[in-house]
Structure 1
Amino acid sequence: MDNSNFTLFDPRCRQDAPFSIDVIMQLDIFGIVLFSVLTLMATVSMLVFLEECIYIYKKVPPNKKSIIIWVTGAAPVIATMSCLGMWVPRATMFTDMTSATYFAVVVFKFLILMIEEVGGDDAFLRRCKKQSFKISTGPCCCCCPCLPNVPITRRSLFILKLGSYQFALLKLVFTILSIVLWTNGNFNLSDVSATGGAIWINSFVGVLTIIALWPVAIMFMHVREALRTLKIIPKYAMYQLVLILSQLQTAIINILAMNGTIACAPPYTSQTRGYLMSQQLLIVEMFIITLVTRVLYRRPYDPIPDADGVEETKSALTAKYVV
Structure 2
Amino acid sequence: MTGFDPRCTQEPPLAIEVILQLDVFGIILYAALTFMALVSMLLYMEECVYIYRKVSSNKKSAIIWVNGAAPVIGAMSCLGMWIPRATMFTDMTSATYFAIVVFKFLILMIEECGGDEIFLRQSENKTFRISTGPCCCCCPCLPQVPITRRSLFMLKLGSFQFALLKVVFTILSIVLWTNKNYDVADMTISGAAIWINPGVGILTIIALWPVAIMFMHVRNTLRSVKIIPKYAMYQLVLVLSQLQSAIINILAMYGTIGCSPPYSSQSRGYLMSQQLLILEMFIITLVTRLLYRRQYDPISYSEGEEEKNVILAIESGEHCGKNNH
- Distance in 2 (CA, whole Å) between partners of 1:269 and 1:309 is 58
The one-letter code matched in structure 2 to 1:25 is: L
State the partner residue of 2:42.
Answer: 47
From 93, 100, 115, give the equivalent of 2:88: 93
1:230–1:319: 8 Å Cα contact kept in structure 2?
no
Is 1:121 aligned to residue 116 of structure 2? Answer: yes
- Distance in 2 (CA, whole Å) between partners of 1:168 and 1:319 is 34
Name the SS for the 2:13 alignment partner: coil
Residues 173 and 314 of structure 1: is their aligned pair in 2 closer, same or farther, counting only changes over 3 Å? same
- Distance in 1 (CA, whole Å) between partners of 2:324 and 2:313 is 20
From 217, 220, 227, give the equivalent of 2:222: 227
The one-letter code matched in structure 2 to 1:129 is: E
Q: Deviations over 1:198-246 (max 9, x none)?
A: 1110000000000000000000000000000000000000000000000
2:310–2:320: 8 Å Cα contact kept in structure 1?
no
State the partner residue of 2:296.
Answer: 300
From 254, 257, 261, give the equivalent of 1:262: 257
Give the TM-score, by structure 1 length: 0.94
Residues 288 and 309 of structure 1: is their aligned pair in 2 closer, same or farther, counting only changes over 3 Å? closer
- Distance in 1 (CA, whole Å) between partners of 2:53 and 2:312 is 28
Q: Deviations over 1:285-306 (max 9, x none)?
A: 0000000000000031697732
The one-letter code matched in structure 2 to 1:150 is: V
Deviation of 1:310 after TM superposition, in Å, equals 7.2
From 244, 247, 267, give the equivalent of 1:249: 244
Deviation of 1:22 after TM superposition, in Å, equals 0.7
- Distance in 1 (CA, whole Å) between partners of 2:162 and 2:317 is 34
- Distance in 2 (CA, whole Å) between partners of 1:70 and 1:124 is 22
Name the SS for the 2:311 alignment partner: coil
- Distance in 2 (CA, whole Å) between partners of 1:155 and 1:171 is 24
Aligned residue-pair number: 315
Which consecutive residues of structure 1, in runs of 5 or more, have no partner in the other structure? none
Name the SS for the 1:306 alignment partner: helix
The one-letter code matched in structure 2 to 1:105 is: I
Deviation of 1:140 after TM superposition, in Å, equals 0.1
From 76, 80, 87, give the equivalent of 1:81: 76
Task: Note the 1:1-323 alignment, pairs <5 A.
Answer: 5-6=2-3, 9-298=4-293, 299-300=295-296, 305-306=310-311, 312=317, 314=319, 317=322
The one-letter code matched in structure 2 to 1:16 is: E
1:300–1:319: 8 Å Cα contact kept in structure 2?
no
Q: Deviations over 1:80-101 (max 9, x none)?
A: 0000000000000000000000
Deviation of 1:316 after TM superposition, in Å, equals 8.4
2:313–2:320: 8 Å Cα contact kept in structure 1?
no
- Distance in 1 (CA, whole Å) between partners of 2:141 and 2:164 is 32
- Distance in 2 (CA, whole Å) between partners of 1:232 and 1:283 is 25
Name the SS for the 1:305 alignment partner: helix
- Distance in 1 (CA, whole Å) between partners of 2:319 and 2:226 is 12
Which consecutive residues of structure 2, in runs of 5 or more, have no partner in the other structure? 300-305
The one-letter code matched in structure 1 to 2:52 is: Y
Deviation of 1:314 after TM superposition, in Å, equals 3.9
Give the stretch that moved more between structures: 62-71 or 42-51.
Answer: 62-71
2:113–2:319: 8 Å Cα contact kept in structure 1?
no
The one-letter code matched in structure 1 to 2:296 is: P
Q: Deviations over 1:22-68 (max 9, x none)?
A: 10110000000000000000000000000000100110001111111
- Distance in 2 (CA, whole Å) between partners of 1:181 and 1:125 is 44
Deviation of 1:307 after TM superposition, in Å, equals 6.2
1:254–1:271: 8 Å Cα contact kept in structure 2?
yes
- Distance in 2 (CA, whole Å) between partners of 1:311 and 1:300 is 20
Give the TM-score, by structure 2 length: 0.93
Give the stretch that moved more between structures: 73-82 or 294-303.
Answer: 294-303
- Distance in 1 (CA, whole Å) between partners of 2:2 and 2:25 is 26
RMSD of Structure 2 on Structure 1 (CA): 1.8
